[in-house]
Homo-oligomer: A and B are copies of this chain.
Amino acid sequence: MSQVFGNGRHLSVGSTAPPLTKGKLRLYSMRFCPYAQRVHLVLDAKKIPYDVVNVNLSAKPEWLFDKHPLGKVPAIEFEDGTVLYESLVLCEYLDSISTTRPLASSDPLQRAKDKLVIERFSQFIVLFYKMYQDINALNSDDVLQSLEEFEIELTKRDSPYFSGTRPGMVDFMIWPWCERADMLTIMAGDRFSLPEKRFPKLLQWKKFMKEDEAVKCSYLDVSDHVKFLKSRLAGTNDYDMLVASL
């Protein structure tokens, strides 16, 4: 459903923002950003037509600050020039404007509970980002423990996905970091991999998620995620490493 400008190349300082495309909303993204991936997942799941402008976050285009006051991605620009940002705000709004494949529960209490599950996942996100700062400070017990309540939650919900028989809002909001979770094993050792006996539901969920058509649209192999991380750690930030030469 998406059209990517410039073969996916990340626009930098000094660039010009491409004009909007009629009949499509515009997602400002970065190919490896998990927050932006949340929005890709929702757009792809709901088959909302959009185009993508990727942005170099180490040398931000000046115009990015017209879209987001802090010059961040994801941000979405609508045909009338309205801009929204913040991944959770965006995903909730996008879910509300299209009836195709509703992602959030229609029950307000369940929706509130689901938001708390997403909020609780930030524990794992915080640990995950230690990989970028001080990987040696990362404790595998902490990492596994931060995921344990998701194993319990899936067991309690007694369904293949957090949202039932098909991935919904919770599934998509936590997926980007789960897609990247094996980076921890590659970067810091096997003690970070989830033991089958302790996480049977979560591992099965992950296998199922990879088969979802929306997940497939933005999915990257862990080797690509690691390659990009290494370029970040080396200070080269190879945003365009997947851009095929024209």
Contacts and interface: CB of A to CB of B under 8 A. Distances in A.
Interface string A97-121: 1000000000011011101100110
Chain A residues touching B, range: 20 to 34
Contacts of A120: 69
A244 interface: no
A116 B111 CA distance: 19
Contact of A108 (B85, B96, B111, B113): B96
B97 A115 contact: no
Contacts of A149: 69
Contacts of A111: 93
Contacts of A82: 109
B69 A119 contact: no
A137 interface: no
Interface string A74-93: 00000000101110011011
Given A84-B113, A116-B85, A116-B86, A93 B69 contact: no
A204 to B, nearest CB: 24
Nearest to A107: B96
Contacts of A115: 86, 89
